[in-house]
Amino acid sequence: MKTIYVVEPHSDTAALEMDLLQDAGFGVRVVTADDAESALAGNDAGLLLVTAGPREGAVARALLARAKVANVPVIVTTTGRDVSRWSSAAAVLLKPFSLEDLLARVRAHFAAE
């Protein structure tokens, strides 16, 4: 199974997401945006989980564009209500979201492969 790359600026949230996904049997790496770009150049990225907050919006949009070229789906988490800007993402989760919702979206992606 390919790796899920988590790009989340808050270490406590990143740790929660990583633990949840690892406990569900997924391979997970918490990375910086630069590391995520490098991962997209390889062939082990199965999914990006990207936070798009007020400070991370431009970075998230750039990663979404690069992931589209690499044919890697992206799940965007955001506090913003304008979800149309993330229309090319595989899924958008509005914060606050439940960990169960996150896990369901990830499982649905990998089940569709």
Distance, in Å, from the CA atom of 13 to the CA atom of 98, rounded to the nearest integer, reads 12
Average pLDDT over residues 16-42: 95
Check: CB of residue 78 under 8 Å from CB of residue 86.
Answer: yes
- The pTM (predicted TM-score) of the whole model is 0.93
Where do the structural domains in the chain lie, given as residue ranges? Answer: 3-98
Tokens of 66: 């690069």
- Model confidence pLDDT, tens digit, residues 41-99: 888 899 999 999 777 788 899 999 999 999 999 999 998 877 888 999 999 999 999 99
- Count CB-CB contacts under 10 A for residue 53: 16
Q: What CATH number has the domain spanning 3-98?
A: 3.40.50.2300
